[in-house]
Chains A and B, each alone.
Chain A
Amino acid sequence: MPWGMVGGAMLVSLLFSIQACKPKGVQSAVSGDSAVKAYVPPGKYDEFYNFVSGGFSGQMSVYGLPSGRLFRVIPVFSVDPEKGWGYAEETKPMLNTSHGFVPWDDLHHPALSVTDGIHDGRWAFGNANNTPRIARIDLKTFRTAEIIEIPNSGGNHSSPFITENTEYVVAGTRFSVPMGDKVDVPIKTYKENFRGTVSFISVDQTSGEMKIAFQILLPGINFDLSRAGKGKSHGWFFFSCYNSERANTLLEVNASQKDKDFIMAVNWKKAEEYVKAGKGVKKNVKYAHNVYDEEKHIATSKMENEVIMLDPKDCPDMVYFMPCPKSPHGCDTDPSGEYIVGSGKLAALIPVFSFTKIQEAIASKNFEGDYEGIPVLKYDAVLHGEVKKPGLGPLHTEFDANGFAYTSFFVSSEIVKWRVSDLQVVDRVPTYYSIGHLCVPGGPTKKPWGKYVIAYNKITKDRYLPTGPELTQSAQLYSIDGDKMQLLLDFPTIGEPHYAEAIPAEMIMKNSKKIYKLEENKNPHAALGEKEARVERKGNEVHVYMTSIRSHFVPDNIEGVKVGDQVYFHVTNLEQDWDVPHGFAVKGANNAELLIMPGETQTLLWKPDRVGVFPMYCTDFCSALHQEMQGYVRVSPAGANVPLTFSTGDQQ
């Protein structure tokens, strides 16, 4: 590298005081117009919404692009005391599972709904990796509307990727597990007793409601990531698989023995036919299906007990394996649907498969053998070609609309841009540091929106002010408008960011719900107007039907509550103006606050544990007289004869 360039780059860095670490090359320097390109002036909107997985926070975060500003953390699989998620009586059932209430999970992959392979802005899906589940988030409200548990699964990682018209979201097992009647088995009997599954969960096109349509029983290997076919490959689904060694211990070594693992191709249209023809077997299972009712503001959890299982042995021409080098991770289809990019975590090349060639190889039975009864196609017969020496440790690939692919490289910590047609590398930029997933707006769809690629990094080290041993997670924004990728911005993220998707702001914001209409509030505990506010006792349950409006509660003085009572505060926010939530908290409550949107009713359960007078107040600054929005509950001894009374001002 010419010294002049290095000097120039370093001087630029110095003068702009942006770059803290030593640049590896000229392209790592932040050039002069970066700030302008990522700058969104005060009061102006971003171009894109960026839905980013919250990783081990269990939530999904929403950022603006190009500014990197955080707008919202959507509570999904983890409780969120700030919003009362999982604490309010109405939302507790959302976190119910066959294991009971589970307050945490690990969300890795958002997937935005599509119609004809193009973003449609209806829903975002997310996976729970630990206790296998899929969530659907309604993009009108930015709230989790539904969570379905996945039975016969361990580690729901290759999920929730979606088909071209959101017909299905999928769930593939990372951990194979023993299933059925024989589950108490020695772990070392892995090869005999452990099996994997992939589940196809249908999505109702009107309500969005999910249902497990069928599962496919598979050998005990690890399913990692997946992508639906699109365009010409619509009707197929591709899953990357590792651990074809079927190791059950020290996978780091034992699952890295073979030169090649697989990408699995599933003909799901064929699977649908087999289900219709009754080839599936009904299996007894137990899984929770939780739905949030938008009009009642209440979630219900229902336990389901059956799935239809397809066994490839009874269903020929449904599942094929394609050899793929070195523990493939990412498995991504290009916008045309012709090319499937596999990324071996330990490989130093990127194989690109051709859908046309896959079809030809299947037609001519060009197999190299079978794996546990499933045909294995010949590598050379299905290969479009290999990207040679692109970098070390390819993970994931996204696409733009101009025929280019962008692949993340964890080991060599860079994004590599290459041309899909001739597999030539055209550009590369370093990431700081150790990129995992990456995102081009619309990158997994038939119509990429382009403009940016965002790197979601695993390590931040020296990029931000240190905060003790635990550092922030981070993303980096690059412009891809020109021939050369250009670093524009670093921004911190919550949890650990895995996958993310970005969608033009216009497609979401025009549908964004502003209030819940009081006229449509069907919560059975709602107090629709102060005239309906009251307190009722049913045995040891005390139900407070409370209203809040700027800036008072009705009622705000309550007496006659006794130690041992269960007090339910059903709070209805009577506001009908956007951005006027009220909060509710009472001293000593062992759960959380409520945050009640305009027109909404939410319920907090309080079990007073001692005699006294307990303050309650509005927690969300609502008006100049917010600090006056408060009240008292008097709690008397268990046997006391204090009558139940309630009031606000002089109104009894």
Chain B
Amino acid sequence: MKNQIIAVLGLGLVSILLVQCKGGVKEDLPQVDFEAIEKSQPEVHGTLIKDEDITLGNPLNEEWVKGGENIYNLKCLACHKLTEEKLVGPGWKGLTKTRKPAWIMNMITNVETMLESDEEAQKLLEQCLVRMPNQNVSKEEARQILEFMRKNDGEM
């Protein structure tokens, strides 16, 4: 009797140690690649943009300037003024003179990564206390915004 109980308990404990969470999944059950799905959850703009990926030219690409302005009105204006004044985030005046183009585009498209790894980005968060949101802007759109910022800073 006593042995029986010990056996039952022992079996239970062994099971706890041995049974894996995903044990016994049927073969035809679609295998969930949880890691891949987790990675696809936040931003999907690819890897960080490097300075050498961007070519700046003059005169400005006026089509991009216009496109950038439209995106600004829709997705950026709520927090960023075109002057130096800080609203929710910093004003844009002079930004292209103090920040590198890749840094600006990464803040737009890869803000999560920047807030994790970039000291300047982290300093800004301490000042503004509102995380720069991911506004679902593509790399190409970010390039247009950059062109609009250059125009805002007086480039021709």
Chain A residues proximal to chain B, CB less than 8 Å:
4, 7-8, 11-12, 15-16, 31-33, 35-37, 39-41, 44-45, 47, 401, 447, 449-451, 481, 504-507, 509-510, 514-515, 517-519, 528-531, 547, 549-552, 554, 574-578, 580, 623-625, 649
Contact = CB atoms under 8 A, between A and B. Distances in A.
Contacts, number: 129
Given A15-B9, A451-B25, A577-B133, A506 B30 contact: yes
Nearest to A510: B37
Interface in B2-30: 4-5, 8-9, 11-13, 15-16, 19, 21-22, 24-26, 28-30
B58 interface: no
Contact of B74 (A45, A451, A514, A529): A529
B19 A36 contact: yes
Contacts of B1: 4, 7
B66 to A, nearest CB: 15
Interface string B66-84: 0000000111011100000
Given A510-B37, A529-B77, A552-B88, A8 B19 contact: no
A507 B30 contact: yes
B136 A530 contact: no
A576 B9 contact: no
**Which of A447, A504, A649 is packed against the most chain B CB atoms within 10 Å?**
A504
B4 A518 contact: no
Contacts of A649: 87
A390 to B, nearest CB: 26
A529 B73 contact: yes
B39 to A, nearest CB: 12
A648 B88 CA distance: 13
Given A4-B1, A15-B9, A577 B136 contact: yes
A4 B9 CA distance: 14
B131 to A, nearest CB: 7
B117 interface: no
A551 B131 CA distance: 11
A45 B12 contact: no
B145 to A, nearest CB: 14
A518 B75 contact: yes
A386 to B, nearest CB: 30
Contacts of A575: 133, 135
Nearest to B7: A8
A179 to B, nearest CB: 45
Contact of A580 (B22, B28, B78, B133): B133
A504 B4 contact: no
Decide if the interface of chain A is mainly helix, strand, loop or mixed: loop
Interface string B81-116: 000000110000000000000000000000000000
Contacts of B137: 576
A457 to B, nearest CB: 25
Interface in B25-64: 25-26, 28-34, 37, 41-42
B129 A576 contact: no
A33 B12 contact: yes
Contacts of A33: 12, 15-16, 19
A530 B21 contact: no
Given A45-B34, A451-B24, A549 B79 contact: yes
Contacts of A15: 9
Nearest to B135: A576
A449 B83 CA distance: 59
Contacts of A510: 37
Given A8-B8, A574-B75, A450 B34 contact: no
Given A550-B133, A576-B75, A576-B135, A401 B26 contact: yes
18 contacts: A11-B5, A32-B11, A32-B13, A33-B16, A401-B26, A481-B24, A504-B30, A506-B32, A506-B33, A529-B74, A531-B73, A552-B88, A576-B134, A576-B136, A577-B133, A577-B134, A623-B130, A623-B131
B106 to A, nearest CB: 16
Contacts of B28: 401, 447, 449
Given A529-B78, A551-B88, 5 more contacts: A15-B9, A31-B12, A33-B19, A47-B25, A624-B129
A464 B79 CA distance: 49
Given A41-B21, A504-B32, A510-B37, A547 B5 contact: no
Contacts of B22: 47
B52 to A, nearest CB: 28
B38 to A, nearest CB: 8
B78 A8 contact: no
Given A8-B8, A450-B26, A574-B74, A625 B19 contact: no
A451 B32 CA distance: 15
Contacts of A504: 29-30, 32
Contacts of A47: 22, 25, 29, 32
B91 to A, nearest CB: 14
Contact of A577 (B12, B15, B135): B135
B114 to A, nearest CB: 14
Given A510-B37, A624-B129, A547 B78 contact: yes
A415 to B, nearest CB: 19
Contacts of B5: 7-8, 11
A36 B26 contact: no
Contacts of A36: 15-16, 19, 21
B26 A576 contact: no
Nearest to B137: A576
A587 B46 CA distance: 45
B74 A44 contact: no
B12 A550 contact: no
Given A504-B29, A517-B136, A578-B41, A625 B130 contact: yes
Contacts of B25: 47, 451
A446 to B, nearest CB: 12
In this complex, which of B29, B37, B77 has the most chain A Cβ atoms within 10 angstroms of its Cβ? B29
Contacts of B19: 33, 36-37
Contacts of A12: 8-9, 12
A550 B130 contact: yes
A40 B32 contact: no
Contacts of B4: 4, 8
Given A574-B78, A575-B133, A44 B16 contact: no
Sorted nearest first, the 9 A-B pairs with minimum C-beta distance are: A32-B12, A33-B15, A576-B136, A549-B78, A577-B134, A576-B135, A506-B32, A529-B73, A529-B74
Contacts of A528: 74
B32 A576 contact: no
Contact of B26 (A7, A32, A451, A515): A451
A553 B37 CA distance: 34
